[in-house]
Amino acid sequence: MRITNSMIVSTTLENISANARRLEDLQNKISSGKRVRRPADDPVAVARVLGLKTELRQIEQYQRNIEGAKAWLQVTESALGGVSAVVQRARELAVSGATETLTASERAAIAAEVSQLFASALQLGNTRYASQYVFAGFKISTPPFQAAANPQGYGYQGDGGVIKREIEVNATIVVNTSGQEVFPQVLQGVKALLDGLNASNTAQIQSSIGLLDSGLEAVLAEEAEVGAKVNRLAAADERLQDIGVNVLSVLSSTEDLDMAKGLMDFSAQQNVYQASLKAGAYAVQPSLLDYLS
Amino acid sequence: MSISGLDIGLRALAAQQQAIDVLNHNIANANTPGYSRQRIHLVATPPNLVPSLTQMLSRRQVGSGVTAESVDRIRDRFIDFQIQTENRTLGEAQIKKQVYDKLQLVFNEPSESGINSALGQFWGTWHDLSSNPGDRSARSAVLQQALSLTNLINRTYNQLTTTRNDLAAQAALKVADVNSIAARLANLNGQIQRAQLGGAKANDLLDRRDLLLEELSKIIKFNYAVKSDDTIAVFVDGQELVSMTSYRSLTSSLDTSFVLHVQWADNLAEVSPGGGELQGVVTSANTVIASQITSLDSLALQIKNDVNALHATGFDLTGATAVNFFAGTGARDLTIEGAIQASVDKIAAAGQPSAPGDGTVALAIAQLQHLATELDALSELAAGGSLPISGASVQRILTSGASPTTYTITSSGANELTLSAVIGGVPVSQTITISDMAANSSQALEFSSLGITIDLRSGAVAATVADLITDLTDAARDELIVTTRVTVDSAYQQHVAQLGVEARGNDHTVLNELALVGSLQRQWDSISGVSLDEEAANLVKYQRAYQASARVITVLDELLEMVVRGLGVVGRI
């Protein structure tokens, strides 16, 4: 096969340019640190990278949701702790108030304290977290419990709304305890005690103990549930943390360049490039004309 | 020996000189693009007939020297044809590569500033809103992130249309190139015809014409026929582009539906380029970018419809309901409703009025990220087993392109259903078993290898397998357009992956074609290229021959001198 000068030049050029192209590609990968920079580099990997990034963002969001839910629940828990203290004190007072032998002034003193306990319970019912009333159901911007001159002694302006937060894909948790769940029983018991004391009705005082007992039971049960939820959130958070680490590592292995390999490839490719330059220089030079006299 | 010997010498000198002229021409044009080497064709001149002194009828044939009969160019038509074919493919693929590279820049994935990231942040703000429905800053964040997302989608759309307009401009340039080449070809036809009137080949003009044809082959597909007088007629899309010294022009235009056309300039008839850069431009504008725009539109609409459907069921801070969140008709004008932009209180986060702590609707919207949207084309089985499948109830069509895929349901056994379709040119089908349905129950028919799930819901009456099969395979309804469960995010991710696959395939085509064209060029060079070594060696050959002929003439001259001076001077002193 005839070989002409322009063939030699064209082959040399083509090889040099192919090597330069590979060199440039490697250089881009190294300087960006990424193995895939655009969809054509590896379409399957890019789709996976996009999905993983979305998942990472979701995990961060869920962790944020968990933080918020935990704070809400913790506020609820400590408020409920206060309520159970109130109920227990009221029960003690009920027991001592049921004694037949109390004087009117003694009874009045107890009634005064019970009245304070009632106000305390109402105040606890109006606990706030980040300017939201936690026991108001959905009506979080107005205080749910108001003292009133009616038979129950208070009015409830909240509702029974259930506030849910999503803490993982398709997993939601109810974060609130509405004021309709535990407080009515507690307040009923305390009011009954107060009424009984004010009316010096021992039978009523006696029966209020039963109400207070069931109120306490309700509070403790609710406290336990809230505590369990807090634990569940802690576990979910930890799980999300682990998942997040795994996702991040898969993302990195898909998207990032193995620096050591990349640098080695680059150095090897540089050698190839230089060799093709040298070979080209030698091939192109001589011709018969140099040797004819 | 006679004076004719000098003639032979003279002829020889002339012939060798011409040979060296041809060599000179070759060496001078060693680097001229498209130049094919020329060779002198030396032929012995017809012999002289010298009568014999000893025989009656025979005559001796005495050679009379050499002459240069023709100068031929060394060229292989077949290689030319192959180069033209591969150039065409290369040109088309190179144009498409430019477009795909641009598209990948437009979408800019994977990155933190692409649509994937914007979507993720958008859903995140709805989560934060559902935790703090009354908080104005959470509402502001929803609005701002939504505006970010819609702006990004608008901008992407605009970049796609700009790219399409750029392609229209490029088409005009390519068409101008074709017209210019056609004009020059027509001109050359005339020149070649005139130059070859004397019978000799117009080698350099032919070379120039072949080079023009090679240039043209990169731009558009053509056929050509060489006539007996070496003029050519060039045909594009079956019609004459160049014929003798006349030619037709092409033109291009973008019509009102933004479809790019290539047409004949004189009668505006449609031209199908058939290959080359023009075809690359037309395909990129009318297929590649058009389908990108369609996909972006359907993404925008899916976001808008899915969010609006939920948002309208919610209540805002003023207690109003049935308000939309997104407005617009597609990717170009997708935006947030003006009322919401004016006041973030109007974002409907709550599931009931006057419930500032209620974020259930906001949560539902946030969950769109992983909850595939409910199929709207649910088929209900009423009493007696009738199955109202109607086109009107279908909202989204499975597409990876402009046209929907249609599916066919058949039954092969007592409780089996087969779903078949042609996806991407490949026929696929899957057979599953189905079971009886009680009243008010649901059954999902999962055709995983086709990516389809058909939800069936029964009404007040139970349906047996026989009922289901009868209705689903009813001949009157055996074409079913179905929807698939796909989230907005994963639809977008699949779209990006698809773009990557197409771009990568095209990149490979470009690299392969470059190598192929390079190899063919070298083959051409091997046949028609000038080798300086070869010319140098031949130079020596002809130079020596010239020197030898000159020497012979000198010898003859001396001999003749002897005759002229020496004969017939006997006795003269």
Segment B337-354, tens digit of pLDDT: 999 999 999 999 988 888
Whole-angstrom distance, CA of residue A111 vs CA of residue A100: 15
**Contacts of residue A233 in chain B, CB cutoff 8 Å?**
none
B253 part of a folded domain? no
Question: How many whole angstroms separate alpha carbon B532 and alpha carbon B541?
Answer: 14
Q: Is residue B380 over pLDDT 80?
A: no
Domain final residue pick, B432, B450, B485: B485
B533 lies in the same domain as B474:
no
Is the separation of the CB atoms in B131 and A68 below 8 Å? yes
The dihedrals phi and psi of B233, each to the nearest 5 degrees, come to -115, 130
Distance of alpha carbon B182 from alpha carbon B1, whole angstroms:
59
**According to the model, what pLDDT value does residue A159 have?**
87
Residue type, B390: S
pLDDT of residue B172: 96
Task: Tell me whether residue B550 is in a domain.
Answer: yes
The domain containing residue B440 runs over which residues? 373-485
In a domain, B366, yes or no: no
How confident is the model over B174-217, as pLDDT tens digits? 999 999 999 999 999 999 999 998 888 899 999 999 999 999 99
The residue among A283 and B337 whose pLDDT is bigger is B337
Q: Would you say residue B92 has pLDDT above 50?
A: yes
Domain check: are B406 and B476 in the same one? yes
Per the structure block, which two tokens stand in for B483? 């929807």
- Chain A contact probe: residue of B533, B535, B540, B543 with most A CBs at under 10 A: B533
What are the percentages of helix, strand and coil residues in chain B, rounded to 5? 50, 15, 30
Cα–Cα distance, B95 to B275 (Å, whole number): 11
Residue to test with chain A: of B358, B513, B526, most A Cβ within 10 A: B358
Question: Does the pLDDT at position B221 exceed 50?
Answer: yes
Tokens of A200: 């010096």
Partners of residue B50 on adjacent β-strands: B60
**Could you say which of B450, B485, B520 is where a domain stops?**
B485
The verdict on B388 and B476 lying in the same domain is: yes
Parallel, antiparallel, or unpaired for β B335-336 and B379-381? unpaired
Considering only the beta carbons, identify the residue of A47, A133, A288 that sits closest to B537: A288
Rounded Cα distance, B303 and B148, in Å: 14
For position A97, what pLDDT does the model report? 84
Does B436 share its domain with B537? Answer: no
Q: Mean pLDDT over residues A180-199, rounded? A: 89
CA distance B285 to B166: 9
Q: How confident is the model at residue B399 (pLDDT cuts 50, 70, 90)?
A: very low
B322 contact partners, CB below 8 Å, separation of at least 6: B312
At B373 the pLDDT is: 44
Is residue B429 in a domain? yes
In the block, tokens 């974060």 appear at A175
Give the closest of A14, A39, A58 to B496, CB-based.
Answer: A39
How close B371 comes to chain A (CA, Å)? 8
Q: Based on the number of CB atoms within 10 Å of its own CB, is B119 exposed (0-12), middle (13-18) or buried (19 or more)? A: buried
Nearest CA in chain B to A158: B355
Q: What is the mean pLDDT of residues A97-104?
A: 81
Query: How close is the nearest chain A Cα to the Cα of B479, in Å?
Result: 32
Indicate the burial class of B279 (C-beta count within 10 angstroms; 0-12, 13-18, 19 or more): buried
Give the minimum alpha-carbon distance from B123 to chain A in angstroms, rounded to a whole number.
Answer: 9
Cis ω before B46 (30° cut-off from 0): no
CA separation for the pair B265, B261 (Å, rounded):
12
Tell me which residue has tokens 């021992």.
A202
Q: Which of B108-112, B353-357, B364-368, B453-457 has the lowest mean pLDDT?
A: B453-457
| Radius of gyration of chain A from its Cα atoms, rounded to whole angstroms | 39
Q: Any idea which of A214-223, B114-123, B335-344, B410-419 has the lowest mean pLDDT?
A: B410-419
Predicted local distance difference test score (pLDDT) of residue B295 = 87
Structure tokens at B118: 């914007």
Q: What is the pLDDT of residue B398?
A: 33
Q: What is the mean pLDDT of residues B216-229?
A: 93
Q: Measure CB to CB from residue A288 to each of B104, B121, B536 and give the nearest one.
A: B536
Using the beta-carbon criterion (under 8 Å), do B124 and A3 form an inter-chain contact?
no
Taking an 8 Å cut-off on Cβ atoms, the answer to whether B120 and A46 are in contact is no
At B99, the pLDDT band (50, 70, 90 cuts) reads very high
Look at the block and give the residue holding tokens 């789709």.
Answer: A47
Place of tokens 């004949």: B264
Q: Which residue of B has its CA nearest to A159?
A: B355
Q: What is the pLDDT of residues B504-545, one digit of tens each?
A: 999 999 999 999 999 999 999 999 999 988 999 999 999 999
Which amino acid makes up residue B119?
L
User: Is residue B476 assigned to a domain?
Assistant: yes
Contacts of A214 (CB under 8 A, 6+ apart): A185, A189
pLDDT of residue B452: 63
pLDDT at A29: 94
One-letter identity of residue A174: V
| B356 in contact with A, Cβ within 8 Å | yes
CB contacts of B360 in chain A (<8 Å) are 164
Encode pLDDT of A155-180 as tens digits.
998 888 888 899 988 788 999 998 88
Residues of chain B with Cβ-Cβ distance to A166 below 8 Å are 127, 130, 363, 366-367
Q: Is the dihedral of CA A267, A273, A277, A279 positive or negative?
A: positive
**A140 vs B contacts (CB less than 8 Å):** 134, 356-357
Query: Which pLDDT tens digit goes with each residue over B238-291?
Result: 999 999 999 999 999 999 989 999 999 999 999 999 999 999 999 999 999 998
Mean pLDDT of B119-132: 93
What whole-number distance in Å separates Cα of residue B381 and Cα of residue B221? 57
B370, A58 Cβ separation under 8 angstroms: yes
Percent of chain A scoring above 90 in pLDDT: 58
List, in sequence order, every residue forming a beta bridge with B407; answer none if it has no partner. B421, B480
Res. B477 pLDDT band, cuts 50 70 90: very low
A-facing residues of B in 69-108 (CB < 8 A) are 100, 104-105, 107
Q: How confident is the model at residue B457 (pLDDT cuts 50, 70, 90)?
A: low
Interchain contact A159–B (C-beta under 8 A): yes
Average pLDDT, rounded, for chain A: 90
Over residues A80-91, the mean pLDDT reads 93
CB of B90 within 8 A of CB of B280?
no
Q: Of the given ranges (A67-76, B30-39, B326-335, B471-480), which has the lowest mean pLDDT?
A: B471-480
Does a structural domain hold residue B546?
Answer: yes
Shortest distance between the Cα of A62 and any Cα of chain B, in A, equals 9
Q: Give the number of domains in chain B.
A: 2
pLDDT of amino acid B282 = 95
C-alpha triplet B513, B514, B515: angle, nearest 5° = 90
Task: Give mean pLDDT, residues B449-461.
Answer: 62
| Residues B377 and B479 occupy one common structural domain | yes
pLDDT, mean of residues B153-170: 95
Amino acid at A181: E
Q: In chain B, which residue's Cα lies nearest the Cα of A141? A: B356
Q: Are residues B451 and B534 in the same domain?
A: no
Cα separation, A102 vs A205, whole angstroms: 13
As beta bridge partners, residue B420 has B408, B429
Same domain, B476 and B403: yes
Same domain, B397 and B479: yes
Among B485, B518, B549, the domain-final residue is B485
Using an 8 Å CB-CB cutoff, list chain A residues near B105: 38
Q: Give the Cβ contact number of residue A255 at 10 Å.
A: 20
- Closest to B380 (Cα-Cα) out of B456, B471, B461, B469: B456
What 3-state class would DSSP assign to B260?
A: strand
Query: B54 — phi, psi (to 5°)?
Result: -100, -25
Handedness of CA B535, B541, B544, B550 (dihedral sign): negative
In this prediction the pTM is 0.80
Residue A170 touches partner B, C-beta closer than 8 Å: yes
Question: What are the CA-CA distances from residue B134 to residues A62, A162, B129 (Å)?
Answer: 20, 15, 8
Cα Rg of chain B, angstroms:
40
Is the residue at B120 inside a domain? no
B210-244: b or e for each residue (b if 16 or more CB lie within 10 Å)?
bebbbbbbbbbbbebeeeeebbbbbebbeeebbbe
CB B264 within 8 A of CB B239: yes
- Kindly list the residues from chain B whose CB atom is less than 8 angstroms away from the CB atom of residue A57: 117, 120-121, 124
Percent of chain B residues past pLDDT 70, beyond the cut: 85
Token look-up 């009137």 returns B197
Say how far apart CA B221 and CA A276 lie, in whole Å.
36
Cα distances (Å, whole numbers) of residue B16 to B22, B23, B555:
10, 10, 19
From the list B330, B476, B301, the residue with the least C-alpha distance to B390 is B476
**d(Cα A42, Cα A26) in Å, to the nearest integer?**
15
Residue of A40, A60, A166 with shortest CB distance to B363: A166
Give B419's strand partners.
B409, B430
Judge if B475 and B534 occupy the same domain.
no
| Cβ-Cβ contacts under 8 Å, B142 against chain A | none
pLDDT at residue B403, rounded to an integer: 38
The ipTM (two decimal places) reads 0.85
Q: Cβ–Cβ contacts within 10 Å for residue B108, how many?
A: 16
What are A28-54's pLDDT values in tens digits? Answer: 999 999 999 999 999 999 999 999 999
d(CA B506, CA B512) in angstroms, rounded, equals: 10
Residue A87 confidence class, pLDDT cut points 50, 70, 90: very high
Mark whether B478 and B545 lie in a shared domain. Answer: no
Show residues of chain B in contact with A58, CB under 8 Å: 120, 123, 369-370
Q: Is residue B359 part of a domain?
A: no
B63-83 confidence digits (pLDDT tens): 889 999 999 999 999 999 999
Q: Could you tell me what percent of chain B has a pLDDT over 90?
A: 58
Give the model's pLDDT for residue B520: 95
Task: Categorize the per-residue pLDDT at B229 as very low, low, confident or very high, splitting at 50, 70 and 90.
Answer: confident
